[in-house]
Amino acid sequence: MKQKVIIIGSGFSSLAASCYLAKKGYEVIVLEKNKTIGGRARQLKKDGFIFDIGPTWYWMPDVFERFFNDFDKTPSDYYSLQKLNPAYKVYFGENDSISIADSLEKICEAFEKEEKGSSQKLKKFIAKAEDNYNIAIKDLVYRPGVSPLELVTPKTIKKLGYFLSTIRKDVRKEFNNQKLIQILEFPVLFLGAKPGDTPAFYNFMNYADFGLGTWHPENGMYSVIEGISSLSTELGVTFKTETNVEKIVVDNNKTSGVIANGKKIDADIVLSGADYHHSESLLDTKYRAYSESFWEKKTFAPSSLLFYVGFDKKIENVAHHTLFFDVDFEKHSEAIYDNPSWPEEPLFYASFPSKTDKNVAPDNCEAGIFLIPLAPGIEDNDEIRARYFDIIMNRFEQLTAQKVKNSVIFKESFCVKDFIKDYNSYKGNAYGMANTLLQTAFLRPKLKSKKVKNLYFTGQLTVPGPGVPPSLISGKLVTELIHQQKPI
Ligand SMILES: Cc1cc2nc3c(=O)[nH]c(=O)nc-3n(C[C@H](O)[C@H](O)[C@H](O)COP(=O)(O)OP(=O)(O)OC[C@H]3O[C@@H](n4cnc5c(N)ncnc54)[C@H](O)[C@@H]3O)c2cc1C
């Protein structure tokens, strides 16, 4: 008889795990509390506009290829991709912006204009970043974080210096121009920590950025969720939405299933892709491996204030992805990491997918997504949200030299309280636990429960970490552990 696995949640990691487990012959049921699947990568549709609620940057296309290839498929069997040019644009002030094009050659030209001699330095920097990418993304991240020895290979021993230095130090060793420094420090923000707290080894994110480029799936990132869930359904997985798991049942140190919407559902194995802290709260205290003080001490990736805005006209002077780095980065990151509070002058990011994709907004309209990164756990109410909308709209109008406020048809917002309510996110974090040196690989919360047999975890709070590509990898890693172990 088939072993039955219940998966809690339907984010990228859970969906990936569901495919791998079904392929290995398990009976798989996915239980999702929300009305729709996708977790943080859900979709908002309103008045002819389509918005990705969470992720908008499709990076590391090779990881998506590798995922689908594991099922003898390719991403193009499920969605179509376009490489963005420019990949993104960064504003540093009025009439002061740099566009990052779709090839290293063109990016070198842009760098040279800002700092003489920087293009040669950039080529060398990216060559080293590519080398680290090949070690990290093609190999290390596919190890389950069970033992420190996983990180010790002939290749990584040579890279020890990169683990002892930080992105901040390495970038500043080579480049002097503040704008170039900010551009090169930007990709590690995806890992959830400050560049000064992120090991230099993670410069592989710079290769992901300049070497592999930024892509757009037609209709947005939710197409990828739809693609993977189609694959999952083809493999025989069952989905139950609006099914809230209230308890993970444990008898004699072994899980026998869950209680969802008040009813027991039996299973041989339970895998939770919900936030790790919440997943453990579904267990009696004695079965939790990590205490409240463990979570309290961890560096969490930021939360965010997001706005999904329908404009009744086309927006000028912006790219599909546009970053607003016109204020002090250090001060904003202090407000996120050192002294959790609302930033006085926020940096922000804006995405206009309708610049590339005519499906996501009505004709002559623009879909805009605005994101301010924030400290998890800070106060969140309608008045604060409205104030910050005004702050960024004023700056946006000034920097991009146009009026847009009167063209807003509607705006929806999403912030700390929604992350907690919708996803049971710890303190309302947006993208999990940061990848700092002490929160990397075997130092992250484990995929396999230390206290309960046949209970496993996946997702951005465990290995390898935050982001869509790591979540796909997490689903694969946990499946391998489950399969090795076999249920007892
Ligand atoms: C605003 C934002 C922007 C981002 N931008 C990018 C980006 O551009 N590129 C990128 O690669 N990554 C980005 N990320 C990160 C990326 O989206 C996440 O790392 C990834 O989607 C996390 O997937 P997951 O499977 O770990 O968890 P989740 O997506 O959080 O899935 C967990 C699921 O569990 C469900 N759940 C929770 N509790 C229960 C319960 N008791 N019962 C049943 N179900 C439950 C939740 O509803 C949810 O569906 C972004 C994230 C956010 C929030």
Q: What is the DSSP string of 222-270?
A: HHHHHHHHHHHHHTT-EEE-S--EEEEEEETTEEEEEEETTEEEE-SEE
Distances (CA, A) of 175 to 88, 96, 183, 199, 281: 20, 19, 11, 18, 46
62 and 34 in a common domain: yes
367 and 287 in a common domain: no
State the helix-helix crossing angle for 104-114 and 178-185, rounded to 10 degrees.
150
**271 by DSSP, 3-state: which?**
strand
Q: Are 204 and 129 within 8 A, CB to CB? A: yes
158 and 118 in a common domain: yes
For a mutational test of ligand 1's pocket, the pick from 205, 306, 431, i.e. the residue with the most ligand atoms closer than 8 A to its C-beta, is 431
Measured between its terminal Cα atoms, the distance across the chain in Å is 14
Ligand 1 within 6 A of CB of 244: yes
Residue 217 is predicted with a pLDDT of: 98
CATH of the domain at 334: 3.30.519
Asked if residue 94 belongs to a domain, the reply is: no
- Supply the residue whose CA is at minimum distance from atom 52 of ligand 1: 54
**466 by DSSP, 3-state: which?**
coil
Cα-to-centroid distance, 430 and ligand 1 (Å): 8
- Supply the residue whose CA is at minimum distance from atom 41 of ligand 1: 245
Q: How many CA atoms lie within 13 A of 460 on its CB side?
A: 28
Residues in Cβ contact with 151 at an 8 Å cutoff, skipping those fewer than 6 apart: 140, 143, 441, 442
Ligand 1 within 6 A of CB of 58: no
Asked if residue 17 belongs to a domain, the reply is: yes
CATH of the domain at 13: 3.50.50.60
Structure tokens, 375: 């400290």
Cα-to-centroid distance, 56 and ligand 1 (Å): 12
Asked if residue 85 belongs to a domain, the reply is: no
Q: Is the dihedral of CA 205, 208, 213, 214 positive or negative?
A: negative
- Supply the residue whose CA is at minimum distance from atom 47 of ligand 1: 423
The DSSP output letter for 335 is: I
Residue where a domain stops, chosen among 212, 242, 269: 212
- 52 forms beta bridges with 43
Asked if residue 93 belongs to a domain, the reply is: no
Q: Which atom of ligand 1 is nearest to the CA of 272?
A: 34
Asked if residue 430 belongs to a domain, the reply is: no
Cα-to-centroid distance, 8 and ligand 1 (Å): 12
Residue where a domain stops, chosen among 212, 246, 264: 212
Structure tokens, 351: 């995405």
324 and 263 in a common domain: no
Residue 486 is predicted with a pLDDT of: 65
Structure tokens, 414: 């999403």
Per-residue confidence of the chain (488 residues) as pLDDT tens digits? Answer: 899 999 999 999 999 999 999 999 999 999 999 999 999 999 999 999 999 999 999 999 999 999 999 999 999 999 999 999 999 999 999 999 999 999 999 999 999 999 999 999 999 999 999 999 999 998 899 999 898 888 888 888 888 888 889 999 999 999 999 999 999 999 988 888 899 999 999 999 999 999 999 999 999 999 999 999 999 999 999 999 999 999 999 999 999 999 999 999 999 999 999 999 999 999 999 999 999 999 999 999 999 999 999 999 999 999 999 999 999 999 999 999 999 999 999 999 999 999 999 999 999 999 999 999 999 999 999 999 999 999 999 999 999 999 999 999 999 999 999 999 999 999 999 999 998 889 989 999 999 999 999 999 999 999 999 999 999 999 999 999 999 986 54
419 and 319 in a common domain: yes
Q: Are 55 and 66 within 8 A, CB to CB? A: no
Ligand 1 within 6 A of CB of 10: yes
Residue 190 is predicted with a pLDDT of: 85
52 and 124 in a common domain: no
Q: Quick one: how far is CA 391 from the chain centroid?
A: 26
Q: Are 473 and 142 within 8 A, CB to CB? A: yes
Report residue 327: phi and psi, to 5°: -120, 175
Task: Please give the Cα distance from 4 to 28 (Å, whole number).
Answer: 6
**Closest of 285, 281, 287 to residue 255, by C-alpha:** 287
Q: Are 9 and 274 within 8 A, CB to CB? A: yes
Asked if residue 13 belongs to a domain, the reply is: yes
Q: What pTM was estimated for this model as a whole? A: 0.98
Task: Please give the Cα distance from 15 to 380 (Å, whole number).
Answer: 30
Q: Which atom of ligand 1 is nearest to the CA of 12?
A: 25
Q: Are 432 and 466 within 8 A, CB to CB? A: yes
205 and 131 in a common domain: yes
Ligand 1 within 6 A of CB of 36: no
Q: How many CA atoms lie within 13 A of 120 on its CB side?
A: 2
CB atoms inside a 10 Å sphere around CB 421: 10
Ligand 1 within 6 A of CB of 429: no
- Supply the residue whose CA is at minimum distance from atom 19 of ligand 1: 467
Distances (CA, A) of 257 to 5, 108, 249, 483: 9, 55, 6, 18
Q: Is 463 left (phi over 0), alpha (psi -120 to 50) or beta?
A: beta
321 and 376 in a common domain: yes
Residue 488 is predicted with a pLDDT of: 47
355 and 466 in a common domain: no
Residue where a domain stops, chosen among 161, 182, 212: 212
Length of the chain as a residue count: 488
141 and 202 in a common domain: yes
Cα-to-centroid distance, 471 and ligand 1 (Å): 9
Domain extent at residue 397: 299-423
306 and 389 in a common domain: yes
440 and 401 in a common domain: no
CATH of the domain at 169: 1.10.405
Residue 168 is predicted with a pLDDT of: 96
- Supply the residue whose CA is at minimum distance from atom 31 of ligand 1: 11
Asked if residue 409 belongs to a domain, the reply is: yes
Q: Are 233 and 432 within 8 A, CB to CB? A: no
Q: Which DSSP helix (H) or strand (E) runs through 278? A: helix 276-281
Domain count, the chain: 3
